[in-house]
Amino acid sequence: MAIRKFKPTTPGTRNKSISSFEELTTDKPCKSLLEPLKSTGGRNNTGQMTMRYIGGGHKRMYRIIDFLRNKDNVKAIVKTIEYDPNRSAYISLVQYEDGVKKYIIAPAGIKVGQEIVSGAGVAPEIGNTLPLGEIPVGTLVHNIELRPGQGAAMARSAGTFAQLAAREGNYAILRLPSGETRMVLTTCRATVGVVSNGDHNLESSGKAGRSRWQGRRPHNRGVVMNPVDHPMGGGEGRASGGHPRSRKGLPAKGYKTRNPKARSNKFIIERRKKK
């Protein structure tokens, strides 16, 4: 894993730093695992803009990822490690003994030719998926289910992981990437290891055009708008705009939006750490 920096031969490359992609083994995806990905431009089914600052971007195909890993006790061989334009982590193409091919989120350190397997009773090695009740305490895991059979829901982006801190009865206690500590049923599955492309947070676009390639349009701040356009707009000169809030008027920066009666509160032991 390495970050590639550029000489400042142009203004766009002066501050540009991207992944070296040295781990990748191919640039051609498996056609049978692709499906069209429609670009919305931030519009809903009636054409009304519901999300601002979205539009353009390069045309992409969606890679169908196997988040369930429910092909139990069937060995699979890692065929490739690939780039996925739809997520920050790398993905791996694996082929099972019966010939079925699937994409998985690539863990850090996985190699082409390596054998992986999922199901109860398998060894807790990198890339293997098994119930939390069978993973040793202290192990780093990713692709964690919240409900048995739901499929991976947590710790899926580049470089993320959770630590299995303890087990109490039917629940495993996980320390999540956000700093939150919560309980998850021991029958839920997780994959051993850390998600690949851990240096993703060190990348820098270098120019606004690269954000446009990714479908992100210019984002203007509320304080530079007029009062008719935003609650923080208006004022003489460079006014700060008062209390930070959204365009709809909801307070930001510290205002709690979580429902205090949420049913999942009983599973959260410690809330995530404040910035």
Task: Give the pTM.
Answer: 0.92
In the chain, DSSP assigns E strands to: 3-5, 17-19, 34-36, 61-63, 76-82, 91-96, 101-105, 115-116, 129-131, 140-142, 162-168, 171-175, 181-185, 189-192, 268-270
pLDDT band at 275 (very low <50, low <70, confident <90, very high): low
Cα separation, 194 vs 161, whole angstroms: 5
pLDDT band at 230 (very low <50, low <70, confident <90, very high): very high
Cβ atoms of 178 and 273 closer than 8 Å:
yes
Cβ atoms of 144 and 154 closer than 8 Å:
yes
Domains of the chain: 3-200 (2.40.50.140)
Cβ atoms of 204 and 16 closer than 8 Å:
yes
pLDDT tens digits, 65-93: 999 999 999 999 999 999 999 999 999 99
Could you give the angle at the alpha carbon of 91 between the alpha carbons of 212 and 108, nearest 5°? 110
pLDDT tens digits, 89-145: 999 999 999 999 999 999 999 999 999 999 999 999 999 999 999 999 999 999 999
Cα separation, 121 vs 110, whole angstroms: 21
Cβ atoms of 223 and 232 closer than 8 Å:
yes
DSSP reduced 3-state for 266: helix
